[in-house]
A and B are shown apart, each in its own frame.
Chain A
Amino acid sequence: MSLNLSLYTVSAVLILDNEGSRLYAKYYNSPSIESSNSTSHTTTTNNTNTNNNNNINSDPYFSTLQQQLKFEKSLFSKVNKVNQDIVLYDNHLITYKQTNDIILLIVAKINENESLIYSIMANLFESLNILLDNTIDKATILEKYDIVTLTIDETIDDGIIIESDPAIIVSRVTNAPAAQLDGVHVNIDKGLFDAFSFASKKISERLQQGL
């Protein structure tokens, strides 16, 4: 059993729809810490890695888009409508949660701590649930894609777990900026709420007077 001594824990985060096609897929490139051949992509002279897929992964299994899609497809057939929370598939540890018409999966190395990976998945799910107003489905995810991506980015960065407490994850994700209608901005929700609280205040005043 090879120990994972690095912080790179998660291999991929996937959100698939009810037919197994991807809504969100991020495979994490975990560079070997000890290796000196850098994964640098910074210098201006360095044009060599430009034709690389942006989802480069040191795991050769996921290095191309085709391999990733193939993996997702066969994985989906394995987990679709089988609510088992956790499964070992193709030398990967996978935890997942299916709800409505989407499925959220976290892929990790086969000997990773199962309980840890599961709780990361569950907490990410919970965070999304809060941020998407208890409606995690395909339409909502696509509609609020900015929030979804930010949530995942605040949970896992480059395969490193940043935060696992859903309350904290949620507190880090910004809502979309308010629309700029030349300074005239009406928040219907707030308006209704205000009207309601104004009315209830008036009513209670009247009632008190009547008593």
Chain B
Amino acid sequence: MHFQARGGFVAPGTEDFFLPTKLGFTSFESKAIYLAFFSVLLIGLFFYFSSRKAKVMPSKLQFAGESVYAFVRRDLGEDLIGHEFLRFVPFLFTLFTFVLVNNIFGIIPLIQFPTMSHVSFPYVLAIFSFVVFHYIGIRRQGLGKYLKGICFMPGVPVALYILLTPIELATYFVVRPVTLALRLFANMFAGHLLLLVFILGGDYLLHGGIVAKIASPFSFTFAIVMTFFELLVQVLQAYIFTLLTALYIAGALADEH
């Protein structure tokens, strides 16, 4: 690790995302995978206990659980999808809580690793979202009509379809899922790297000369400030991921296009 690297600052890079694990069961294991399982356990326990003894006058725990649920149901389900939203609330809720908890792992002391900074996790979530919204569109409109709705905008001269159809197809089948995954991944990766730069930089300066020693606390202070900024980014990215999934589902449900 970088703490041993003397004689020059080594900037953190991709290799810092592949931490050695202690157990050594399989070649698949990584900190990210353990964190993903841990987050599922955490979310399950939290919502089990918060809804176990549900009362009309909610306890604090029940209130916390219910407000997360109500947020997803009202702001992401009802407002965006419309009258059929109830079918999609479990999916959106699972997606939101999973992404949120895994993102916030990035700043929890002793864990401090966002699971979504391994690109395979956002890709799998985006594949889920991709399959769901195309399946809904095909179920609703039939395969031919759905594809026709995507490929051919009404009210365009026929010759222009050569120009426009590839763009529509690429948007719906490639760009949407890929940007969905990459937006989440890039934010988490960059955020973790940013914190590493300031913390490792502060540590490096602490072992330097007298001027460097004076500069070191500023680096650590900025790392703490950026940690709170990261909290904002992490919550926002979880929200945006779920929001876009809800918007894509709403688009597949709408008959008009």
Say if A and B assemble together.
no
